[in-house]
Amino acid sequence: MLDSTVVSRTQAVLDQLNAALEAGDVQAAASLFATDSYWRDLVAVSWNLKTVEGPAGVADMLGQQLAQTRPGNFQIQTGEDPAEEGGVTTAWITFETAAGRGWGLLRLKDDRIWTLLTALQELKGHEENRGTRRPMGAEHGASKHRSSWKERRETEAATLGYDTQPYTVIIGGGQGGIALGARLRQLGVPTIILDKHDRPGDQWRSRYKSLCLHDPIWYDHLPYIKFPDNWPVFTPKDKVGDWLEMYTKVMELNYWTRSTVEKASFDEASGTWSVEVNRDGEKLTLHPTQLVLATGMSGKANMPKFPGMDSFKGTIQHSSQHKGPDEWTGKKVVVIGSNNSAHDICAALWEAEADVTMVQRSSTHIVRSDSLMEIGLGALYSEQAVANGVTTEKADMIFASLPYKIMHEFQIPLYDKMRERDADFYAGLEKAGFKLDWGDDGSGLFMKYLRRGSGYYIDVGASQLIIDGEIKLVQGQVDHFEADAVVLKDGTSLPADLVVLATGFGSMNGWAADLISPEVADKVGKVWGLGSDTTKDPGPWEGEQRNMWKPTQQQNLWFHGGNLHQSRHYSLYLALQLKARMEGLDTPVYGLQEVHHLS
């Protein structure tokens, strides 16, 4: 039964917030927030992705932004009644700003704001043509010499980049570039996506043949078109590739295949980029205003150099180059690394009757897939969640509403439960000599991913092979290669016909260094991580993902990527920022990220 008291108390707080904002009273607005509180804003107030903490942080943001962005009209979302549990009131809200409309999630403790998420959803006067605004498609009536849809698409494809320039160029046509391209298409932002492969989806097709998504289907939808109800829970890589290829066609994206960027440079005088492109042998220069690197958070391979590699008579591959196990039946294979790709590749090689050894260089966090599905994701991304009314869009907002500063506090109990549930499994791994960790603070996989993007494996079978000794396991660091072996620093020699370097990927700003310049890469700084001061995520605290989906220190340069969930969710906010700039809207950025780390 609806508690009318909860509704009235919630709306009373919103009314006070509206009154303070309308009056321009920053201190009155800030006083509505608890001492320990968080306002996470996605573009709406800050024209940035920004989390401020406590009344002082709120006052600082509003002091700089209120007069220009003018947030207000906070209301309980129609049809979504607030709920109270454990002394916390949670309410879905809507609001407006001078430029747009948004929605969000509010949490109250003792009638004070504990967490507030405000997320811009659309720009006034520049709404997407969807729902009641969807295009007619058919042009009823008659007129001479009119063009068909097909002819208009062909004309656009033939002229964009030649007779007319795109406003935005996206470098990288994987799920990130495609999701952002779809958002920009719906907003009327002329965009070209550049990708080196022969077909959309080849980024997935070209990987080792056993690769599947380890995230469940409810977590992986793209914008606008969800996977059908009979789609498998864990999508095989080639099926992902086919879906992406279909998506680019259905969403009418200007997607240039077999197109590599040779150089990009920014002209401050004109505020535009020169992007030198080799398009299937044709060289041309594009001049967009905005440049987005969607080259993949895990796109630039870390290829370590060890003494003796040149004299090794076998084959050395990075995991991203490994096509699969078929040609290695009966051969000796050494896989350097112990994260997701290493486990997947080892398991596939074992299935193909290869003699495979995994070299673990540092501890790894492992969580069983079914435990992650049930305990870690089930409440937000599952068939049961959908049945409970938690749509993908709602799940995204709930997840986004937990400030990164305290997210680990919510994650630790979940991973404690997994550790208890799968105690025998972990005991087996430790008995086999596998070094386990749960993150620096026990918060598990999601925080490791957000902080460093590495250091974990979602177990879909390889761990049991390690427990059973079917995949051989050794600990240590590589010292050098010999003609037919890898030698570790303790002197252990591992004979090998193939060595797979599952050594991970570097920061996305490595692509900025390669395609633009090392100076621009340093100007932008490290990409990814929260500044948590945990392993591979050095401080100071940032509060948001470094340089992702938001303005950077390099004018008109943006980074976009992450997993399918992040590509879907955050593509909206990046697209709105680009659209606003194209339309000449005032976009004063609050809290432009400082650069603390160059690599």
Give the DSSP letter string of 268-301. Answer: TTTTEEEEEEEETTEEEEE--SEEEE-S-TT-SB
Residues 401, 512, single domain; the answer is no
Question: What's the confidence (pLDDT) of residue 599?
Answer: 62
The 3-state DSSP class for residue 534 equals strand
Domain that holds residue 557: 152-300+507-583
How would residue 210 be classed by pLDDT, with cut points 50, 70 and 90? confident
Average pLDDT over residues 363-389: 95
Both 460 and 315 in a single domain?
yes
- Confidence at residue 299, expressed as pLDDT on a 0 to 100 scale: 62
Q: Give Cα separations from 192 to 132, 156, 210, 279, 449 (angstroms).
A: 28, 11, 32, 12, 30
pLDDT tens digits along 154-180: 999 999 999 999 999 999 999 999 999
Q: 376 and 482 share a domain?
A: yes
pTM of the predicted model, to two decimals? 0.96
Task: Residue count of the chain, please give it.
Answer: 599
The total number of structural domains that make up the chain: 3
Residue 238 sits in the same domain as residue 329 = no
pLDDT reported for residue 206: 87
Q: How confident is the model at residue 322 (pLDDT cuts 50, 70, 90)?
A: very high
Least confident span in 201-215, 265-279, 484-498 = 201-215
Q: Are residues 7 and 77 in the same domain?
A: yes
At 2, is the pLDDT very low, low, confident or very high (cuts 50, 70, 90)? low
CA distance 390 to 116: 19
The predicted structure's pLDDT at residue 454:
92
At residue 1, does pLDDT exceed 50? no
The secondary structure of residue 148, as a DSSP letter, is P
Same domain, 176 and 209: yes
Query: pLDDT digits over 106-123, tens only?
Result: 999 999 999 999 999 999
Question: Which of 484, 501, 518 is the C-terminal boundary of a domain?
Answer: 501
The Cα 252–Cα 134 span in angstroms is 15
Average pLDDT rounded to a whole number, residues 440-445? 96
Q: Is 143 domain-assigned?
A: no
Which residue in the block uniquely carries the two structure tokens 């599947």?
212
106, part of any domain: yes
What is the DSSP code string of 22-38? HHT-HHHHHTTEEEEEE
Mean pLDDT over 180-195 rounds to: 98
Task: Tell me whether residue 596 is in a domain.
Answer: no
Among residues 467, 501, 535, the one where a domain terminates is: 501
Residue 128 lies in a domain: no
Task: For the chain, give the mean pLDDT.
Answer: 95
Cα Rg of the chain (Å, integer): 25
Instruction: Please indicate, yes or no, whether residues 73 and 39 belong to a single structural domain of this protein.
Output: yes
In a shared domain, residues 484 and 452: yes
> What is the pLDDT, as a whole number, of residue 268?
96
Q: Would you say residue 349 lies in a domain?
A: yes
How much is the average pLDDT of 453-466? 96
Mark whether 340 and 236 lie in a shared domain: no
CATH of the domain at 404: 3.50.50.60
pLDDT in tens, 559-577: 999 999 999 999 999 999 9
Q: Classify each residue of 22-49 as buried b or exposed e, where b means 16 or more C-beta atoms within 10 Å of its C-beta.
A: eeeebeebbebbbeebbbbbbbbbbbbb
Mean pLDDT value of segment 441-453: 95
The pLDDT > 90 percentage for the chain reads 90
